[in-house]
Amino acid sequence: MLIDQTHRPWLWRSIVILAVCAAVYVPYNHYTLGGARGGTVIGIIYGSLGFGFMIFAGLLSLRKRFPVWRMGRTSSWMRGHLWLGLLSYPIILFHSAFSFGKGTLTWWMMLLFTIVIVSGLIGAAIQHYLPKMMTRQVPYETIYAEIPRIRGQLLDEADVKVAEITGITMNQSVIAAAAGNAGGVIVTTVQMEEQVRDELTRFYSNDLRPYLELEGGKGQAIADRSLSAAMFINVRTRLPEVVHPVISDLESICEEKRQLDRQLNLHRVLHAWLLIHLPLSFALLLMGAVHAVVALRY
């Protein structure tokens, strides 16, 4: 979610609401016997308002789950989720008179609330900056769900190019289809010494192909851009110039795979914070509901 000028109305509304709540709190705390407390009328109003904002923020997940419901734009819900969710924290502090409460439930609830707010702010920062970073670092950015299929296509393309030079098939069915040969027989198009051909085969079999096969390619030396460049330079020095264009194609395939891996990693970072934020948010809402029932009833 990009935090841009569309958030400005939500920001100003949040500031106004917070200013009004603060303006009420000062005399309320000063003139109330024993100071501000959650059980007073104004304290209950603060608590109800803050919990209402928390519920609204929590409804974003329901809105995303049923996008066909005509209940406002998802973008508006996301902006409301951010600003009203953030605003709920100081309002709940007004409700509790800036304490974590005296009971075990309220103490754990406020601790959980603090973690939820902090994780939400971290998530908002990640969602604001990471897409820009992804655009700069991943020029070949593609649809996330298509990454496995595209990775397979890159592997097949590399197999075909290597087989055209060496006559050695890495994936017989794919190469046969690419060559238009039903029998799967690939004819070596470049004549070279067997030792040189074996050098390319070893490089492809031991270094490049395992990297193209694996998601992420962790632990593969060729995954590092500088090491990869050195490895391809070394291969070029051992092969005749006539096959250098194919080596360049293989290097381009390697770079595209590297960018797919980078996009995959950034996408996981983009959503990893939700593993903390979402379950704790639902737990907080449940604890808040229990707290409200207990406080009003007893």
Token pair in block for residue 144: 């996330």
Which of 176 and 70 is assigned the larger pLDDT? 70
What is the percent of the chain with per-residue pLDDT over 70, rounded to a whole number? 85
* C-alpha torsion sign, points 239, 242, 245, 250: negative
Reply yes or no on whether the pLDDT at 1 is more than 70. no
- Smallest CA-to-CA distance from 86 within 113, 109, 61 is with 113
Rg of the chain taking only CA atoms, in angstroms: 30
Q: What is the pLDDT of residue 179?
A: 47
118 vs 55: CA distance, rounded Å: 18
214 vs 171: CA distance, rounded Å: 16
Backbone dihedral region of 220: left (phi > 0), alpha (psi from -120 to 50 degrees) or beta?
A: beta
Q: What is the pLDDT of residue 296?
A: 78
Domains of the chain, residue spans? 5-139+273-297, 144-270
Reply yes or no on whether the pLDDT at 149 is more than 60. yes
Residue bearing tokens 């709940």: 92
Reply yes or no on whether the pLDDT at 162 is more than 70. yes
- Phi and psi at 180, nearest 5°, equal 70, 30
Residue 23: which pLDDT band, with cuts at 50, 70 and 90?
very high
Q: What is the pLDDT of residue 199?
A: 82
181 vs 185: CA distance, rounded Å: 7
* 130-138 own/partner pairs: CB under 8 Å, 24+ apart: 130/266, 130/269, 130/270, 131/2, 131/270, 133/266, 134/263, 134/266, 137/259, 137/262, 137/266, 138/259, 138/262, 138/263, 138/266
Residue 171: which pLDDT band, with cuts at 50, 70 and 90?
low
Residue bearing tokens 């098939």: 169
pLDDT one-digit tens code per residue, 225-279: 999 999 999 999 888 888 899 899 999 999 999 999 988 888 888 888 889 999 9
- Smallest CA-to-CA distance from 53 within 293, 294, 296, 288 is with 288
pLDDT one-digit tens code per residue, 177-192: 444 443 443 334 445 5
Q: What is the pLDDT of residue 64?
A: 66
Mean pLDDT on 99-108:
87
Residues in the chain: 298
Q: What is the pLDDT of residue 271?
A: 83
What is the percent of the chain with per-residue pLDDT over 90, rounded to a whole number? 51
Global confidence as pTM: 0.73
Residue 66: which pLDDT band, with cuts at 50, 70 and 90?
low
131 vs 266: CA distance, rounded Å: 9
Q: What is the pLDDT of residue 67?
A: 60
Reply yes or no on whether the pLDDT at 28 is more than 80. yes
**Close Cβ partners of 210 (under 8 Å, ≥ 6 residues apart):** 217, 220
Reply yes or no on whether the pLDDT at 174 is more than 50. no
